[in-house]
Amino acid sequence: MKRKMLLMVLALFFCLLPLTATAKSHMAVAKPLPPVVITEELAAALTTPGVVVVDIRKVEDYKAGHIPGAVNVFYGTWAIKVGDNDNQLPADDDLADAIGSAGIKPDSTVVVYGKVDTPPERFNITRVAWTLKYAGVKNVSVLSGGFDKWAMCEKRAVSTEAVSPKGVTYKGNFNKNIVVDKAYVLANLKKVLIVDVREPDFFNGKQKLPFVAKAARIAGAVNLPTGQVFEKFPPGADIAGCSMVFKSKDALKTAAASVVGDDLNREIIVYCDTGKVASAWWFVLTEVLGYKNIKNYDGSAQEWMKDDTAPIEP
């Protein structure tokens, strides 16, 4: 009788063993987060294995208080000056080193956040997210409302304990097809949709930034201002410490489709002044709305307007 009971226990153990192994394997892999993450979702995912939260603020801001568990990789690591052009991609090897040093693997789930109270800081976040996608990180999210909403508006927990990630050798497959240069834009002016994401006065040649040679747009471009991506949090209110969040998916879809249409396979090139601001609509169109062939012209108006042979309007 004892021998029969022992055999039954052993049989049950070996039957359950594969289920136990499967459960453990699922626990070791982070579930992908939505591309635009709200604070509640991030709070629930902070201790999930495989999730890497990246704070792109200055190191002194990070040390003063950051989202618990976040690693600090300052924005200037991700976008550098190349020649006369600002906010350019680092060399692939340098980028891989920076990503690996942060403990990020190609299959990591990465959430990028920073400050959002000024437009440049808002677009720093999407630029880093775009750069990670370029480098081949599969699951990249941005925190809607950034550190402002997390800490100042919602008073969520922050930490002053610096995180030293365990570095890895990063071996992602770089997505070269999401970035284009001036030669590509020139060769495809009449073949693809060129989208200027600057505000209307810049698009219409009424204003320009000091480092842009001419107040104009690329010939044939249409205008989809990046200001349409965000709204004040809470809507209609002006609470100290609270700032901008992403609009709803439906609102983003309506704004985008009115300018670029709803053909998800259409080739579209977005640009701005330096390639940073354009990353916001690249991220929304690609990651949120499912457009499959969006490219960022990294040199943008800063490079284009210096070339007297490059077609412009008005």
Task: State yes or no: pLDDT of 7 exceeds 50.
Answer: no
Report residue 237 as tokens: 């209110």
Q: CA-to-CA distance for 66 and 54, rounded, in angstroms?
A: 10
Alpha carbon distance 186, 134 (integer Å):
22
pLDDT for 49 beyond 80: yes
Task: Calculate the alpha carbon distances from 40 to 36, 156, 246 in Å.
Answer: 12, 10, 15
pLDDT tier for residue 293 given thresholds of 50, 70 and 90: very high
Taking only the tens place, the pLDDT of each residue in 230-263 is 998 776 665 666 778 999 999 999 999 999 999 9
Using alpha carbons, select from 56, 63, 227 the residue that is nearest to residue 147.
56
Predicted confidence at residue 240, as pLDDT, reads 62
Q: What is the dihedral of CA 106, 109, 115, 118, to 10 degrees?
A: 70
* H or E element at residue 304: helix 300-304
The token pair at 197 is 């994401």
- Domains, the chain, with CATH or none: 36-153 (3.40.250.10), 176-313 (3.40.250.10)
Please check the confidence at residue 188 and state whether its pLDDT lies above 70. Answer: yes
User: Tens digits of per-residue pLDDT, 272-282?
Assistant: 999 999 999 99
- Provide the pLDDT for residue 117: 86
Q: What is the pLDDT of residue 243?
A: 76
Buried b (16+ CB within 10 A) or exposed e, 9-29: eeeeeeeeeeeeeeeeeeeee
